[in-house]
Amino acid sequence: MKVVIVGGVAGGASAAARIRRLDEKAEIVVFERSGYVSYANCGLPYYIGGVIEDPEDLTLQTPESFLERFRITMKVHHAVTAIHPERKTVSVKNLETLEEFEESYDKLLLSPGAKPTQPNLPGAGIDRLFTLRTVEDTFKIREFIDREHPKSVVLAGGGFIGLELAENLRELGMDVTIVQRLKQLMNPFDPDMAVFIHAKMREKGVKLMLGYSVEGFEATAGSVSVLLEGNPALEADMVVLAIGVTPESELAKSAGLQLGLKGSIVVNERMETSMPDIYAVGDAVQIKHSVTGLDTLLALAGPANKQGRIAADNICGGDSRYHGGQGSSIIKVFDMTAATTGINEQTAEKAGIACDKVYLSPANHAGYYPGAQNMVIKVVFEKGSGRILGAQIVGYAGVDKRIDVLATAIHARMTAFDLKELDLAYAPPYSSAKDPVNMAGFLIENVLHGLLKQFFYEDVAGLPKDGSVTLLDVRTPEEFEMGHINGFSNIPVDELRQHISELAKGKPVYVICQSGIRSYLACRILTQNGFTCYNFSGGYGFYRAQAEEVLTAQQSYPCGMEKGTSR
């Protein structure tokens, strides 16, 4: 059997190695357009920033090591230009010699990945304008920085690459501005969780222009003008386009393969395309979202590697199935960590799933053990069943651990009732006896059983101020004085029972504290004394973060940047 693989990075390299492990006699040929195979895409920004010092650390394997260990022929600088399904060959061009030839196959695997989205904007090809996809792109940016010593950069786009580059370039001492058409960074997060990422970026000196559209570029003497729709231009020493990726599917389209979302390649659970003996994996393919069941795109390394393994199994006569992905991802934001899995609240609503949510702010480990740090967790769950649909966490130590537990729970279709039963490891340096994941389960269970009624940030503005409801802040007087919501009166939770007779029983009570725990205790006291009580989910700390973001967004230039410059 002869297998030809187009693309030698995540999915293609995984498939090639798996095929060899299953079939020692198969002939395996991989064509890779770039000069590198099996490289770590996710590490590229960290080489630019100098965190990864040795360029060889970016490549997990080389063509030579693949040949030596696996007897796999890796042909770099070779572009497959056409597929001929009728005669089971591909046209190939050697990008070094310009020689063109045809290669036959018994099985063909497409793993071309995705390319940086490059809108047709004026000036898109000028010098000092970069994209980041390959190792060569990385070296080009790093060499430019080492040679030109740029002091300012505009990053067009606020996704994974944009944020990772922002951090690394800021750590090099550069003045960094992110321009994003959407009014938030990191679209997998709901806006109310993205505000914590915004705050950290601003704290570290990254300027954010959210809700601004780039409409072109102009080369100037030693710099680039970034043209903004309806706003003055920005001047920077360099620009990186990081506005997302588009499936690399021209090859599949020309061959007549069925295409789906954004031109992606349609595959079944076996990673088979619409044509016999042609498989496809990775960022170029359309998959099912495992939570919604809807078609989606997930440009992530984890799914690509799994799909490569599954395609390899089936190429070798097996029957492996890919049941979809749920978008689990994590990102370092300077000293903070942000992670998400499953679907967010916006996606659930668009998919027509009746959902609810809880917020909590637990510490990463026992509070009495030194160094405890709080994280903010949002869990989205299905009304009625309590099935966990998605989770988002921002914080410091311990975020990765909790998001992985919640990702596993979502994959297993667990409910809140299952979360509270999970037997998780505990020692004071690592967790609490009631782990944050357990706490999320307890909280959702209380909501589902009617023990807890909630109100949210978006409800606060509509609360009556005419005395028809009671607005109560149960923090200490000192906390209250440091900041509170207008219209709320202060009775500390520990004094609530003594003052309960002062509250009018016929009025609903809306209660808030710093994190949501004391206000929940207050609600239990009030409810059992005949009051209808609502607890603010997330607490005043969460409220303040939202309010500060709104205030910042109302300013013409939200980062306090002078018009017409990024310096």
**What pLDDT digit, counting tens, does each position of 283-294 carry?**
999 999 999 999
Q: Are 519 and 474 in contact (CB under 8 A)?
A: yes
316 contacts 279 by C-beta, under 8 angstroms: no
Instruction: Give residue 203's identity as a one-letter amino acid code.
Output: E
Q: Mind listing the pLDDT tens digit for each residue in 420-436?
A: 999 999 999 999 999 99
Which range (59-73, 202-216, 517-531) has the least confidence?
59-73
Q: How far apart are CA 87 and CA 106, in angstroms?
A: 10
1 strand-pairing partners: none
pLDDT of 198 above 70? yes
Q: What is the mean pLDDT of the chain?
A: 94
Cα–Cα distance measured from residue 536 to residue 525, given in angstroms and rounded to the nearest whole number: 15
pLDDT bin (cut points 50, 70, 90) of residue 560 is: very low
Sheet strands (E) in 44-137: 73-76, 78-84, 89-94, 100-104, 107-110, 114-116, 129-131
- Which residue of the set 42, 316, 513, 523 is catalytic? 42
> Is the pLDDT score of 70 beyond 70?
yes
**Section 240-265 average pLDDT:** 95
pLDDT digits (tens, 9 = 90+) for 376-401: 999 999 999 999 999 999 999 999 99
Pure H helices in 182-299? 191-203, 250-254
At 523, the pLDDT band (50, 70, 90 cuts) reads very high
The residue type found at 112 is P
pLDDT at residue 348 greater than cutoff 60: yes
408: pLDDT strictly greater than 80 = yes
Give the confidence band of 69 by pLDDT, cuts at 50, 70, 90.
very high
Overall pTM surpassing 0.75 (yes/no):
yes
Rounded average pLDDT over 18-45: 93
Q: How confident is the model at residue 497 (pLDDT cuts 50, 70, 90)?
A: very high
Residues 6+ apart with CB under 8 A from 534: 453, 454, 455, 508, 509, 510, 511, 523
Q: How confident is the model at residue 556 (pLDDT cuts 50, 70, 90)?
A: very low
Mean pLDDT of 462-480: 96
Q: Where are the beta strands (DSSP E) in 139-212?
A: 152-156, 175-180, 207-210
pLDDT tens-digit map of 113-131: 998 887 788 888 889 999 9
CA distance 236 to 183: 22
How crowded is residue 212: how many other Cβ atoms within 10 Å of its Cβ? 22
Instruction: Tell me what percent of the residues of the chain surpass a pLDDT of 70.
Output: 98
| H or E, element range at 379 | strand 376-382
For residue 397, give every residue at least 6 positions away whose Cβ sits within 8 Å of its Cβ, in sequence order, or none.
Answer: 364, 365, 371, 373
Four-point Cα dihedral 96, 97, 101, 103, nearest 10: -40
Region 533-543: mean pLDDT is: 97
Does the pLDDT of residue 330 top 80, yes or no?
yes
Q: Over 60: is that where the pLDDT of 558 sits?
A: no
Give the tens place of pLDDT for each residue, 437-454. Answer: 999 999 999 999 999 999
What pLDDT is recorded for position 564?
Answer: 37
Region of 50 please: left (phi>0), alpha (psi -120 to 50) or beta: left
Tokens of 172: 């090099």
Judge whether 513 counts as a catalytic residue: no
Model pLDDT, residue 562 = 39
Alpha carbon dihedral 407, 413, 419, 421, in 10-degree steps, equals -130
Read off the pLDDT of residues 77-101 as tens digits, 9 standing for 90 and up: 999 999 999 999 999 999 999 999 9
Percentage of residues of the chain with pLDDT beyond 90: 89
Q: What would the mean pLDDT of 556-560 be, rounded to a whole number?
A: 42
Identify the residue whose tokens are 């990191």.
186
Identify the CA nearest to 60 among candidates 93, 24, 13, 100.
13
pLDDT tens profile 132-177: 988 999 999 999 999 999 999 999 999 999 999 999 999 999 999 9
Q: Tell me the CB-side half-sphere exposure of residue 100, using CA atoms within 13 A.
A: 5
Longest dimension (CA), the chain: 90
The reported pLDDT for the residue numbered 269 is 98
Residue-level pLDDT at 123: 87
b vs e for 484-496, b when ≥16 Cβ sit within 10 Å of the residue's Cβ? bbeebeebbbeeb
Q: What is the dihedral of CA 496, 500, 504, 506, to 10 degrees?
A: 90
Does residue 65 carry a pLDDT above 80?
yes
Q: Which pLDDT score is estimated for 290? A: 96
